[in-house]
Amino acid sequence: MLDVGCYHKTFLTGVFFLFLLLLPGCISLPPLPAANFSEPGWTVRQGQAVWRQKRGAPDIAGEILVATNRSGDAFVQLTKNPFPLIIARTAGDAWQIEAPAENRRFARHGTPPARVKLWFLLPKALAGSTLPEPWAWQNSANHWQLENRSTGESLEGYLNQ
């Protein structure tokens, strides 16, 4: 006769160890320290922007803040007054993205995933860096646009000088 209790314990032990193996990939880093724009080396620009999450999605208009410093750290925030919608930050090789309205935050080392890449490419595009495919950048004196040609995700706007 099959010992169901033993089978159940073995199964649960296997699931537990599988969970432990996968856990390090799921743990988010602690929050990055707050960016202090009054420290020397930060350049802060503000303006208006329109974000479209994907082709055919409604546009979300708001205020945008883009800050970078000499060491390559960056901060991007899209706000629909009075609430921040997206806050993206890089510091060294770490990145963090928050959606405060959804009470969500992700922080890791390395390259951000494709679904949030737009927020981390904007400071690079503004600095004149070449962007990877399928990203396209257009910039004129008073207007810019960053778009993923595959998904239709885009962010466009202007920044005050």
Where exactly are the structural domains of the chain? 42-159
CATH code given to domain 42-159: 2.50.20.10
**What six digits make up the tokens of 80?**
């629909």
Q: How far apart are CA 26 and CA 105, in angstroms?
A: 12
Over the stretch 24-80, which tens digit does the pLDDT of each residue have? 444 577 888 888 999 999 999 999 999 999 999 999 999 999 999 999 999 999 999
SS (H, E, C) 87-124: EEEEECCEEEEEEHHHCEEEEEECCCCHHHHHHHHHHH
Decide: pTM greater than 0.85.
no
